[in-house]
Structure 1
């Protein structure tokens, strides 16, 4: 049965609808029961979704992961980034703690899929991930998390523990009225192929990533 929740205290006036109750298959072979929420009234044209996992109903301090869409990493298993492993980790950890995974349609840090593929060409020529975006006359990271804050407030989840290594996500959520009680670090999913990518995130945008000295 569809459930409609109205929260007129939010500026975005979001209407949240629980559309379906579906099982999600994780890479570990576990079946996770999840509720997938779609939204009306968000401030952009993205079809963003929230996935409720574990004992999220009524959890006063849900564990939340904001995950930006990554076709190459999430679906194709690309080793250029750590998006796929982070998504799998988030599903497992949120299922244990109770909370939400917000899946935002922000491919390539907001530049889109085709631009991201163009940026890959420049990265292969020696530029880092942020320099490649800028060479294409795009922002190094154009993501705005206002939509994530609106989604959380519409779900009555304005006090959260945020699963992230990215300080910008914490800062923006707080600026948009979400009480981030704790930043919960994610694992460092390093391979010989994404090491430079992770080092760049740590050096350029101050991601809280401790890089091991060697990769076996």
Structure 2
């Protein structure tokens, strides 16, 4: 697939200043990268340059914008942005894959089934949808745009580690991200751990926390 860089600008945020880069995929969908401390298309030659801290984050309107606590997406995004600013070198790859790739309408349909007692995986399957429809093909071109071929990856999802590793990007370290746990999303997180292979500590309370 071909991903086209469109434009970039400076984006001040409450976590600090980022460069915001927009990319377009072959279907015309726009994806965004926030970066700091990374030169565009010119990898640093300094041996003192830290390994970039990178988060691959799929769009979640309800969590990222509306503050939903049915999931941990909003806290994950904000914690990762803050951690990258403190590290001084890294990027958020914000992929337009709402609802693990099923889209906003189907995500809310799945929410309705969850309200009836079904877990997040079964809700998707009951709608005839895949458990996880996300792809990560755009991550390589986005990271190449800022000269990155090795990362410390902020994730609990082994699929993201595998994708980058299989596509020429070295994952030096996986950084667990366990934040935003509430009574409303504990079962959701347990389903991701027990049925989808995400790497959480059994009790969610002894893993490495970025915000400790």
Interval containing the TM-score (normalised by the shorter chain): 0.7 to 0.9
Partners of 1:19 and 1:104 in 2: CA distance: 16
Assess if the C-alpha contact under 8 Å between 1:161 and 1:180 holds in 2: yes
In structure 2, stretches of 5+ residues that fail to align are 206-212
Assess if the C-alpha contact under 8 Å between 2:29 and 2:96 holds in 1: yes
Assess if the C-alpha contact under 8 Å between 1:16 and 1:155 holds in 2: no
SS in 2 for 1:116: helix
Partner of 2:158: 167
SS in 2 for 1:146: coil
Partner of 2:17: 33
Q: 1:199 aligns with which of 161, 169, 190?
A: 190
SS in 2 for 1:209: coil
**Cα distance change of structure 1 residues 172 and 144 upon mapping to structure 2, 3 Å threshold:** same
**Cα distance change of structure 1 residues 73 and 213 upon mapping to structure 2, 3 Å threshold:** closer
Partner of 2:35: 52
Q: Does 1:75 align with 2:95?
A: no
RMSD between aligned residues = 1.9
Partners of 2:76 and 2:204 in 1: CA distance: 21
State the TM-score, normalized to the length of structure 2: 0.85
State the TM-score, normalized to the length of structure 1: 0.84
In structure 1, stretches of 5+ residues that fail to align are 1-10, 27-31
Assess if the C-alpha contact under 8 Å between 2:38 and 2:146 holds in 1: no
Give 1:210 deviation, angstroms. 1.7
Q: 1:24 aligns with which of 9, 13, 23?
A: 13
**Cα distance change of structure 1 residues 89 and 213 upon mapping to structure 2, 3 Å threshold:** closer
Q: Which runs of 4+ in 1 moved over 4 A?
A: none
Q: Does 1:148 align with 2:130?
A: no
**Cα distance change of structure 1 residues 172 and 205 upon mapping to structure 2, 3 Å threshold:** same
Partners of 1:96 and 1:80 in 2: CA distance: 28
Partner of 1:114: 105
Aligned length: 196
Give 1:182 deviation, angstroms. 1.2
Partners of 1:19 and 1:134 in 2: CA distance: 38
Query: For each residue in 1:23-81, what CA deviation from the matched residue of structure 2 results, as whole angstroms up to 9, or x when unmatched?
Result: 0124xxxxx111001125x444321011013x333346211000100000001000100
